[in-house]
Amino acid sequence: MKALLAALALLPLAAQAEGFGFKGVDLGSPLARVASDPRHACRAVNTPIGDTICSLRPSEAETIAGANVAALFYFYDAGSLSGIQITVAETDFQRVVNALAGKYGAGKLSSEKVKNFKGAVHENRTWFWQYPEASLKAQRYAGRLDKSVIRYTDDRAAGRVQQRRAAAARNPNKDL
């Protein structure tokens, strides 16, 4: 029994060792990995969150766990992949979460109530996977009741973003 528990405890670490990302594009990978793929369009940005954003071209299609991807963004900081954001239809959310749990182990579930404009209450479920230097968040409702979002984040890059935002707040004249 102890051996089984020990093996289960290592599952997230094993998943992390194989790469934490989407379809072979792992967090920390170089910009060239996505920029060289003609299915994606990349553009330079000048924001505290990074220097380049790549997205799936409108004429291209992608899936996650068999669900159609509505939007796919790769965020880069200093040429290194710092985050991935995938939007899917809310109706596909549970299928995607089940696949993520199959790959990364059971995530932590949290729940909150959200209201739409008509006052109807909905349960917004969020699953969260935390690793030593990265995290994954799957949120059932993301700004709309018909869209769900999956976010992979390099937490080291998130720390750099927080430092840049703090520096901009200290000197707002340079935040132009």
Instruction: Give CA–CA dist 9/4, Å, rounded.
Output: 9
pLDDT in tens, 140-157: 998 888 999 999 999 887
Confidence (pLDDT) at 151: 95
Range of the domain at 50: 2-174
pLDDT in tens, 7-41: 334 444 444 445 789 999 999 999 999 999 999 99
Tally of domains within the chain: 1
pTM, full prediction: 0.80
pLDDT in tens, 79-137: 999 999 999 999 999 999 999 999 999 999 999 887 777 778 888 899 999 988 899 99
